[in-house]
């Protein structure tokens, strides 16, 4: 995010000259193509482990018909690929919402998948899998063949590891971004993060449970780029979590965070929107420090922008901040995002599309009742696709459903904890 007006999100900026975007290793793509031909499969995909080895990151895929950016990050031990990564054993499943996290496989009509771990000596590199448009069983020969391709992928990864080493800011930033829980309290969540293909920025999102049963939702953007912005982002993320433990009102939390950034982070600025959803998860309280307001999709209504007072961004001056409370009916979705999603290059002369028009595009793509994973994939694929990205994009979709509400309260009819907000 670049420096801008301190009270409202900017509606036009001058875009820098685009740089060539780094390509996926062509040797990896060639191996995926060869594996697909060998199996006669519809798709072949590779996910790689992140630096803390807690999440599988989508790296490359062929045959799914959508940008890899729209794919889900998969926590170790969860879903089809996560189970392979944790056990380091091959696995085949029929594709359903319960067995496979990534919505791109379901959207492409994949019915069965076979996957194996990609290992380099004792180190887990990632997971390789092939997908088929029909249900089928797999033989030991199929498993052995896919293991052979995984060994070749591991060899390519080992030979080019130095060239593929992440920038320190990207490693730091990705390590601080949580893998959003599919269900938390009475909510379902999903998120995407697309790093800039130039200097990195300080975008972040967060989802966490509070001691009183409330769920905290955060979207933020530190002004600036590179490692300094990523470092400030990490500090703000930790500080906000700490203040959230002691204060129920989002406005109070942002006031404390603003005081922190002005005292300890000289010349640093950030926009943040912080929301709290208390049990029984039928209302949400939101405060914005100069950040884009979230979108709200309610069943039977047109998706709209949440009306918020745009208090100044953090780091400008001491300011009494405000919160707004609004209903969150069953099936409603909230969509939080950073400016990279809506500030899109229109022409080669550096001008951008109208931001209002881009927000309208996002608004039309967001539907109440959508599975958050499906919504995130659609928004990323339809707005940025494989285009050059000049600014980081963070996206968080949160949905309230009756199913998760019942799970939170319990079948025994126990009363949920009350919020002090």
The per-residue pLDDT for 354 is: 76
Are 146 and 239 found together in one domain? no
383-407: per-residue pLDDT in tens? 888 877 777 889 999 999 766 445 4
d(CA 11, CA 342): 10
Residue 17 in any domain: the answer is no
The per-residue pLDDT for 2 is: 46
The per-residue pLDDT for 352 is: 56
Final residue of a domain: which of 159, 177, 198?
159
Are 124 and 237 found together in one domain? no
Residue 330 in any domain: the answer is yes
Kindly list the averaged pLDDT for each block of 10 residues, start to end, along the chain of length 421. 43 35 76 95 93 84 87 90 94 94 92 95 91 95 96 83 50 69 91 77 90 96 82 91 97 96 90 96 96 94 91 92 95 94 64 77 89 93 81 92 53 36 30
Which CATH number covers residue 388? 3.60.40.10
The per-residue pLDDT for 30 is: 93
The per-residue pLDDT for 13 is: 30
> DSSP letters of 232-285?
HHHHHHHHHHHHHHH--SHHHHHHHHHHHHHHHSTT--EEEEEEEE-TT-SEEE
Residue 16 in any domain: the answer is no
Q: Are 92 and 73 in contact (CB under 8 A)?
A: no
Name residue, tokens 């590779």.
46
Are 148 and 259 found together in one domain? no
Residue 148 in any domain: the answer is yes
Query: CA dist 184 to 63, 187, 321, 384, 411, Å?
Result: 33, 5, 28, 28, 17
Tokens representing 268? 């640093």
Q: Which of 224, 266, 275, 163 is nearest to 2 (CA)?
A: 224
Q: Which domain holds residue 266?
A: 168-409
The per-residue pLDDT for 345 is: 59
Domain count of the fold of the chain: 2
């Amino acid at each position: 995010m670049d420096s801008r007006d301190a009270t409202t999100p900017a509606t036009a900026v001058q875009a820098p000259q685009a740089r060539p975007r780094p390509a996926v290793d062509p040797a990896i793509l060639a191996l995926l193509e060869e594996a697909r031909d060998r199996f006669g499969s519809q798709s072949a995909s590779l996910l790689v482990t992140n630096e803390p080895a807690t999440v599988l990151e989508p790296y490359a895929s062929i045959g799914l018909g959508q940008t890899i950016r729209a794919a889900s990050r998969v926590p170790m031990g969860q879903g089809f690929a996560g189970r392979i990564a944790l056990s380091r054993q091959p696995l085949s499943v029929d594709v359903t919402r319960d067995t496979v996290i990534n919505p791109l496989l379901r959207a492409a009509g994949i019915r069965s998948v076979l996957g194996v771990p990609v290992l380099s000596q004792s180190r887990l590199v990632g997971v390789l899998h092939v997908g088929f448009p029909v249900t089928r069983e797999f033989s030991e020969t199929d498993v052995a063949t896919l293991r052979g391709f995984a060994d070749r992928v591991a060899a390519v990864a080992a030979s080019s590891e130095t060239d593929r080493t992440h920038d320190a800011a990207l490693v730091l930033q990705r390590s601080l971004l949580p893998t959003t829980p599919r269900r938390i309290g009475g909510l379902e969540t999903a998120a995407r993060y697309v790093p800039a293909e130039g200097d990195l920025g300080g975008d972040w999102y967060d989802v966490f449970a509070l001691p009183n049963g409330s769920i905290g939702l955060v979207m933020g953007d530190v002004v600036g780029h590179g490692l300094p912005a990523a470092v400030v982002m990490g500090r703000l993320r930790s500080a906000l979590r700490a203040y959230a433990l002691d204060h129920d009102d989002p406005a109070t939390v942002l006031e404390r965070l603003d005081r922190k950034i002005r005292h300890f982070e000289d010349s640093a600025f950030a926009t943040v929107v912080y929301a709290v959803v208390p049990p029984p998860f039928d209302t949400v309280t939101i405060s914005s420090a100069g950040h884009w307001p979230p979108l709200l999709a309610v069943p039977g209504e047109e998706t709209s922008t949440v009306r918020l007072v745009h208090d100044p961004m953090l780091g400008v001056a001491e300011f009494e901040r405000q919160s707004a409370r609004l209903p969150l009916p069953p099936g409603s979705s909230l969509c939080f995002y950073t400016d990279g999603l809506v500030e899109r290059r229109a022409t080669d002369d550096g001008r951008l599309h109208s931001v209002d028009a881009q927000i309208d595009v996002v608004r039309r793509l967001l539907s109440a009742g959508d599975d958050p994973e499906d919504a995130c994939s659609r928004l990323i694929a339809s707005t940025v696709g494989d285009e050059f990205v000049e600014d980081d994009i963070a996206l968080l979709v949160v949905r309230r459903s009756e199913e998760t509400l019942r799970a939170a309260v319990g079948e025994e009819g126990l009363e949920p904890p009350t919020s002090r907000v």
